[in-house]
Every structure is written in C-alpha cells, then in structure tokens.
Amino acid sequence: MTFHVYDTTLRDGAQQEGMNLSVADKLAIAPLLDELGVGFIEGGWPGAVPKDTDFFSRAAKELNLKNAVLAAFGATRKVGQRASEDPQVLALLNSGAPVITLVAKSDIRHVERALRTTAEENLAMITDTVAFLTGEGRRVVIDAEHFFDGYRFDPAYSRAAVLAAFEAGAEVVALCDTNGGMLPNWVGEIVAQVRADVGPEPILGMHAHNDTGCAVANSLAAVEAGCSHVQGTVNGYGERTGNADLITVVANLELKGGRTLLAGNGLEESSRIAHAISEITNISPYARQPYVGASAFAHKAGLHASAIKVDPDLYQHIDPTRVGNDMRMLISDMAGRASIELKGKELGFDLSGQGELLTRITNRVKTSEANGYTFDAADASFELLLIEEVNGERPPYFAVESWRTIVERTGHRGTDATAEATVKLMAGGERVVVTGEGNGPVNALDHALRLALTTVYPEISAFELIDFKVRILDQMQGTDAITRVLIETTDGHRSWSTVGVGPNLLEASWEALTDSAIYGLIHAGVAPR
C-alpha cells in the first residue's frame, strides 16, 4: 500500500506563536522539504491569506519540486452556497495546486454550535465541495477536524462525515486530533474501528497535535491501526504545544518499523534540513529533539564514552549517521567529510580524492561551528570558505581599511534616532571613503558599503538585502554574548544567504554583508578590478 508523508510546516506549523514566515521564507523552506523527500507540501490557504495566495503564484514559477506536490489548504463550501460559486473554493482552484486539502467538520457539536447548521447540511457541504473539486481534476484530501473528540461523543456522525468524503471522491481522509487531547490507546482503538467501517482500500490519515505530549505516539498508533497517511511539521512547529514532529514520526516508522517512506536519502539529510529550516524560521533548534537534536547522541566522558569507543551501539539506539546526526563527542553535530564532499560537488567543486583538503575543510567547518557559525542556511558563506581553501584566497574585489557607525538622537525621548556609517576601502586601485545613512546602524553600514563599491562595481546596485535574522548565542552571558547574523540578498533573479559571527551585532553584520557582496560579484561573473 502506498504511504503518504504530508508536511504542513508552511501552514499549520506557521501558526506557532512568534513565527511569521514571509513568502520568501516559504519559498526557501519548500525546497528543503522536497529534499527531505516528503510527498506533499501544504503551502497555505490561498484566497484567505494574501501571503499564501502570493506564495502559490510565485511557487508555480520559482519552485522545481522533484519529490513533493503542493497542496492548497481551504475549507468546504459555506452554508447554503454552491461549491462552484464559493469564492474561497474557487481560490483553491485558482492556486493551481494539484492537491487541495479541505478542513471539514466531523464533530456534531462543532457543526451545530460553530457552523450553526444542521448535520445534513454539513455532510452536503463535504459532498458538494469534494465532488466539485475532483470534477475539476484535483486530488482532494479531507482533514476531518476534531474527529477524535467528535467520535468519542457521537461516533455515528463522525463516521458519516468520513464516509461522505470518500463517497464523493476524496483520495484521503485525515483524522484530526485538533485539540491534541488524545492518548495512543484511544487513537488506536478509534482508527481500527474506522478502518473496519470504510474497508481496506480507502486511505486514512492521521493529523496529531501535541497537547498531551503524545503527538508522535498517537501518529504511530494510528499507523499501526490502519492509517497510511501521516501529517506533521518539521521540528514539531505549530500552535499551542505544536504538531507531531514529522521527522521523528518518519524516523520511527523507517528505522524501527522497517518501512520506506521518504524519497531518496531524505532521512540521512534530516538533521541538516531540520537545522536549516530552524535558521529560516529564526527559532532556536531544540537540543533534546529526538534524532536530529544536538543532544540526541551526546555522550559525556568517562565510562560511557569508553564503552562507545568499544561499540557505539552499546549506548545509542541507532547509528546517528542514519539521520545525518553524529555523536556529540565530535565537534560538529553534522556529518563530516562525506557531507562536505557532496556539498562541494553541488556547488561545483570536485573534492573527491583530495583527502588532505577535505580534512582541512572539515576541521575548519567544525571549528567555525564551535565558534557560533552555521552553514546550513548560509550556502554562500560556505562556498566562500571552499574558495579560500581550494584557491588559497577569495577574489580580491576590495580591501577594507576601516568602518564605523554612529547612532544619534536629538531632542526629547521618543524622537527618531539617525544612523550613519563611514566605510573606507581600496577598490579598483583607488581609496574610497563614503558615508551612508540608514534607519539603523546595520542599514547604514549596508548603504555605505554599496556606495563605496558601486563606482567600481556598478553590478552591485542590483543587489538588495531582503532578510535579516539575529540570534544571540550563549544567552546566559547577557550583553557579553556572541551574536550570529544571517542575511539574505537577491539580485532580482536569485537569492543567497551569508552568515556573520562576532562579539556584537555590528561586527557580525559587517561580516555577513561583505560576504554577500563578494559572493554576488562572483556569481555575476565580475572579475576583480
């Protein structure tokens, strides 16, 4: 039987408190999910959320997914309206997504109190909307909202909602623990009963929330009882306590259950991908996260470590490399030379057979990571590192003499402060001194650097900073903590990300900004002048 791995990070995960994904963020995360090997990527709710409408429009032109298909999320038609005339249903069609996921009421209490309609009308809403969309050539997934709570209250009606969806042509009905209050034995019993009711062929799915801390366990129980479609989010993102962590669910099913669910070698890349997505969301990775967390395979010195030297399996439930992680005794929490060789090949560097060079690069990456750098979400900075190690230096576009920033506030408290930056550098054989202004010191530095370089490298005028993220490392050090900055830049055709680390925001930002300028000029085909 075909098994579906359905990711809803971009929609349900984005509802997490404090997370605000831009369209650019979603377009950056989607290829990572595709690389993970999931079958479905739920992109959002077009027609209801303007950013999501924009995402699907841009995704059609900018994404080239190899493993996954995009799913647009929406709802069944409104009460008393034709599905073919409901604006939000039509917006789902207009999104161009080949899969449409509809949230449908399956708890009679929600039908009567939230929708304020009859049991019969709700079933008609499910039937009409599914039939209309499948008639338009779309694959339809039904998310049976509040299914488990509804089934425990009135099993006959919840069952009727599932049967109505299948009879109308839905490919999948995902049973949702929307409130997250279920326990594994309850889930297993209910799914087994529904499986008996619908027969062996229809695809049942599981959508779990983590309010009891059982989202992963509930997902596994559902699969054991007959579900062949699991939904979840990378890193367990989601509102309240989050959704089922999709990587943990899949790792358990593949590594413990002997199934093959992800396309390609996605599971082996899961640690890197989980951390790369964490950088884009700007939410610190959870060190104790199963399988991919920094502490998932951490071992202290002494008897424990001595035993691992004899046989790592004595203290590890799996080989951590199977999920792209590593023992914490190593400096890097990611894979070593092999990963760097593969990444180098992806970036156009043939490092095969160059053991000494690979060792040098690996050691430098480990040292950099120990000092706060991360290259998972900063491919441009990693490529510059490779260029330095392979060629001995970066292209000498410019040489910085000095830079400084000034922030000044005049007048009474509450008035706007002004920021000014001065950059001195050598470019094109001349000394350049410029001053730039901005709405903050980093913005002023960015402007000053561009002004200094534009006369020699006019190509840089096309570069635009489109994202800026700051993370304070070792937060217990307070204002003395190390700062990491990630910036994303575009030239209007492609975007790239660079990382800077320093004792303060400005030094970290300056490193990321200069890396961005150098990388952009290299890929614009510009030679040093």
CATH number for 430? 3.30.160.270
Which pTM does this prediction carry? 0.71
Residue 329 and residue 366 in contact, taking contact as beta carbons nearer than 8 Å: no
Residue 373 within a domain: no
Q: Which domain holds residue 494?
A: 399-523
Is 173 part of any domain?
yes
In angstroms, the CA 441 to CA 438 distance is 7
Q: Establish if 119 belongs to a structural domain.
A: yes
Tell me how far apart the alpha carbons of residues 417 and 408 are, in angstroms, rounded to a whole number. 6
Lowest mean per-residue pLDDT among 88-92, 280-284, 525-529: 280-284
* Predicted pLDDT at 336: 56
pLDDT at 377 over 50: yes
**Are the C-beta atoms of 241 and 211 separated by less than 8 Å?**
yes
Dihedral (CA of 251, 255, 256, 261) sign: positive
**DSSP run (H or E) holding 149:** helix 147-153
Angle between the 87-94 and 119-135 helix axes, to the nearest 10 degrees? 30
CA dihedral 278, 283, 284, 288 (to 10 degrees): -80
Domain contains 32: yes
Both 36 and 185 in one domain: the answer is yes
How far from 118 is each of 107, 145, 437, CA to CA, in Å? 12, 16, 62
Last residue of a domain, one of 212, 232, 264: 264
CATH number of the domain that 157 lies in? 3.20.20.70
Token pair for residue 88? 């939000």
Statement to judge: residues 406 and 260 lie in one domain: no
Report angle CA 290, 296, 302 to the nearest 5 degrees: 155
Largest alpha-carbon pair distance within the chain? 81
Q: What pLDDT band is residue 298 in, cutting at 50, 70 and 90?
A: confident
Domain boundary among 216, 244, 264: 264
Segment 397-416 shows an average pLDDT of 84
Q: What is d(CA 226, CA 231) in angstroms, rounded to the nearest whole number?
A: 14
More confident site: 441 or 337 = 441
The tally of domains found in the chain comes to: 2
User: Does 382 reside within a domain?
Assistant: no
Top mean-pLDDT range of 267-281, 340-354, 399-413 = 267-281
In a domain, 249, yes or no: yes
Residue where the block lists tokens 């920033």: 405
Residue 237 inside a domain? The answer is: yes
In the numeric block, which tokens belong to residue 502? 């320093």
Residue type, 420: E
Q: Among the listed ranges 128-132, 181-185, 476-480, 506-510, which one has the minimum average pLDDT value?
A: 476-480
Contact between 38 and 262 under an 8 Å Cβ cutoff? The reply is: yes
Structural contact between residues 324 and 275, judged by C-beta atoms closer than 8 angstroms: no
Q: Residue 306: is its pLDDT beyond 80?
A: no
Task: Classify residue 280: in a domain, yes or no.
Answer: no
Segment 31-40 mean pLDDT = 97
Q: Which of 264, 283, 311 corresponds to the end of one domain? A: 264
Q: How far apart are alpha carbons 100 and 509 in whole angstroms? A: 41
| β-pair partners for 404 | 422
